[in-house]
Each structure stands twice: as C-alpha cells, then as structure tokens.
Amino acid sequence: MHVLSMRWDKIPDMMKSQLVLGIESSCDETGIGLVDTQRGLLAHRVFSQIDLHAAYGGVVPELASRDHVRRMVPLIRETMAAGGHALKDLDVVGYTTGPGLAGALLVGASVAEALALALNIPAMPIHHLEGHLLSPMLSVQPPVFPFVALLVSGGHTQLMRVGGVGDYVLLGESVDDAAGEAFDKTAKLLGLPYPGGPILSKLAGQGVAGRFKLPRPMKNSGDLMFSFSGLKTAVLTATKKPDFSEAQIPDLAAEFQEAVVDVLCAKARTALTQTGLSQLVVAGGVGANARLRERLRREIGKRGGHVFFPELEYCSDNGAMIAFACAMRVRAGKFRSGENGVFAIRPRWPLSELS
Ligand code: KG4
Ligand code: ZN
C-alpha cells in the first residue's frame, strides 16, 4: 500500500528532462517508443501482426491480445537497448488506454502499470488519437499550434481544431464508416487480401480514375461531416454489372480512391477557411496514402497554407507517438494518472473529452 500511495502522488517534473516509455497495443501493432522530454525520440520499435491476421481477412481480437502478450516485453527490452538506457532510468510510462480493442488495450495497460509500479514511477493513460494527432510534431519541420488536424485512421475520420496539448475541438466527423474502414471494406469486396487499404491504393496507381463514376458523398453538404459507407455500396454495384471484368479493378480502385480524396480535400479546405488557420496536419493510417498527400500538398499550397504529414513510419500505429504525446503532456504540465492505483481501459473514448 505504501508503494502505491507514494507512486500515485508522484508527478513528473516538467522542468527537468524526463525519460518516457510509450506503449501502444490498441489494435494489431505492438509499438514501443522511448522519448526524452528534452532530446526527443531516442528509439522505437513496432511489431505488426499483419501476417497473423491475413489468413482471416481481418483482425481477430483474441489473437491480437495473445500476440501483444508475446511481443511486448522483448520489444520493450529491444527499444530500451536501442535508446541506450536501462529500465531503471525511466521517469514515466505512457500507454494507450483507448479507443481500441478491449483485450489488446488491457495487455498494454497491465504491462505499463506493472512496470511503473515495479519502478515506483508514474504511469499516464494516453488517448490513441492524441498520439496520432501529435505525431507530425515528431518531424524535422513540425507544425506549431494552433492548427487543423485531419485524422484519418481505420476507426476515425475527424477534423479537429488543435489549440495546444489537450485543446481539441471537434469540427466534423464521419456519420458512418471511417475513411480507412471504407478502404478496407472496399478492398475486401474487390477480393483483395488484408490489409486492404494500402493494397487497394497500390492497385489504384495502376488504374485511371474517371472511367467509372462514383459519388462524392456529402462533398457539398456545407458542413464538415463525412459519409463513406455509400461509396463501398456504389463499388459493389459497379462490380455486379454484367460487363464488369477483373481487368477493370484498377480503374475502379482509382475512382474509389479519387472519390475519398476529393471529399477529404474539400472538407479540409473548408475547415481551414472556417477556422481562419493556415496549417493542416494529417494523421492516421490513411495519411500514408500517396494520392491524398499529393492532392492536399497542391491544393492547400495553392491557397498559401501548409500541410504537415507524419513520417510514414509514424502514420500507422506505433509506440513513438504514444511516448511523444505523453512527453508533450509532461512538458505542458498536463500529467494525468489513473485514479488511486486503479487503471481502466476505454475502448470507446471521444478525443474531445480530453483537456
Ligand atoms: O491509424 P491506423 O494505423 O490504425 C487505426 O488507428 O485505425 O490506420 C489504419 C488504416 C487502415 O484502415 C488502413 O487500410 C489504412 O489506415 N491505410 C491506408 C493506407 N495505408 C494504411 N489507406 C489508404 N491508403 C494507404 N496507403
Ligand atoms: Zn491508429
């Protein structure tokens, strides 16, 4: 009891350099990051479970949890060694508490809390999307607050106004499927293997957009809401036409990608106009999409704005962004711990609840 009460009273010193370990296990990647609050990212390692889930055509939650158990400790050891530190040097452990798969989140949460308890240091629950949102700040040329963030992951499509660490105002989001989810579901119905998004976008590079005509859902809705589920249905309808052949899949993929990118670009431009801001930060797995990057760079650049993308290795899930978000909170004096030694995961957790 004594150890517990000591640890929960502890708050990392924002004025001194602090060594932060970040743990990510919300879905199908085990990610570990090591960040020094003064020196930045020291090392990170990711183990992707793609091969494990490929046979099932999607993530199997129970298998994901078990694999996190297998990978996590060796990956922590590897990251610590790569960063040139021992566990005893750590000052804080940050871990993804949600949103994500409950079982997978529990693995990271228990390892993080156990490690913090053993080392008598504080642990901080981190919101997965906050990790994505701040990940472009790991770049050599980072954005500065305030900016508009376009979060495009497998589970979320959101536009946020980011005023600072913990100052997130939701401007708009998808009413149904997320952009990444639309990529994945469309890939599946086109018979492409898991993970669908990147494979579909690769195929789109070999096709020509415009040969098929797909809708641009909610592009002119006048607000910042999105809808992507109808697009997948429109793709399915196109494949059911009697004259459709497999040779046309790249063209259909190209048109699908163009439709998603059209809508994302239009809404991102509107968000900048509405907020009067000039910087757009793109985060989440779909931020790796080459066509989205090209179009946003061109269109936002044309109006005198700047677009910031995380490096590709920080686009998909990773531990560096969790360690970094934790470090940013420590530096901003916004440390939060669980309550009195009790930790809880939050599989559903709106980002706008953060402060
Ligand atoms: O952020 P992330 O790694 O995980 C979540 O937090 O959801 O995003 C994964 C999503 C998946 O839906 C994946 O298909 C999509 O990002 N994705 C892509 C590309 N690379 C990953 N979608 C389109 N084009 C890509 N190149
Ligand atoms: Zn993610």
Q: What percent of the chain has pLDDT over 90?
A: 88
Ligand 2 mean position to 340 CA, how many Å? 28
Q: Report CA torsion sign: 244, 246, 247, 253.
A: positive
- What are 60-116's pLDDT values in tens digits? 999 999 999 999 999 999 999 999 999 999 999 999 999 999 999 999 999 999 999
pLDDT at 50: 93
Q: Which residue has the CA at smallest separation from atom 24 of ligand 1?
A: 289
3-state secondary structure of 160: strand
| Contact call for residues 66 and 52 (beta carbons, < 8 A) | no
Strands 123-127 and 167-173 turn out to be unpaired
Ligand 1 atom nearest 284 alpha carbon: 1
The reported pLDDT for the residue numbered 339 is: 61
In this structure, what token pair is assigned to residue 150? Answer: 């376009």
Q: Where are the alpha helices (DSSP H) in the chain?
A: 2-9, 50-54, 61-82, 102-119, 128-134, 179-189, 196-204, 229-240, 249-275, 290-302, 312-315, 320-331
Using the mean position of ligand 2's atoms as its centre, give its distance from the Cα of residue 315 in Å.
8
Residues 166, 354: Cα–Cα separation, whole Å: 6
* Structural domain spans, the chain: 2-134+315-353, 143-309
Long-range contacts of 188-196 (CB under 8 A, 24+ apart): 188/57, 188/58, 189/232, 189/235, 189/236, 189/239, 190/235, 190/239, 190/249, 190/252, 190/253, 193/54, 193/57, 194/50, 194/53, 194/54, 194/56, 194/57, 194/58, 195/50
CA of 204 to the centre of ligand 1 (A): 15
Taking the CA of residue 184 as reference, the ligand 1 atom at the shortest distance is: 14
Kindly indicate the confidence band of residue 336, based on its pLDDT and cuts at 50, 70 and 90.
confident
CATH number of this structure's domain 143-309: 3.30.420.40
Q: Is 161 helix (H, G, I), strand (E, B) or coil?
A: strand
Q: Is the CB of 131 under 6 A from ligand 1?
A: no
pTM: 0.92
Binning pLDDT at 50, 70 and 90, where does residue 245 land? very high
Q: Is the Cβ atom of 316 under 6 angstroms away from ligand 1?
A: yes
DSSP 79-135: HHHHTT--GGG--EEEEEEESS-HHHHHHHHHHHHHHHHHHT--EEEEEHHHHHHHG
Does pLDDT of 343 surpass 90?
no
Ligand 1 atom closest to the Cα of residue 290 is 26
Q: Which residue has the higher pLDDT, 7 or 114?
A: 114
Relative to beta strand 306-308, strand 279-283 is parallel
Note the pLDDT of residue 10: 66
Q: 256 CB under 6 A from ligand 1? A: no
- Average pLDDT rounded to a whole number, residues 11-40: 93
Res 212: pLDDT: 98
Per CATH, 2-134+315-353 and 143-309 having the same topology is answered yes
Domain with residues 2-134+315-353, CATH architecture: 2-Layer Sandwich (3.30)
Both tokens of 286, joined, read 């779909």
User: How do residues 287-305 score in pLDDT, each as one tens digit?
Assistant: 999 999 999 999 999 999 9
The model's pLDDT over 191-220, given as tens digits with 9 standing for 90+, comes to 999 889 999 999 999 999 999 999 999 999
- Residue whose CA lies nearest to ligand 1 atom number 8: 285
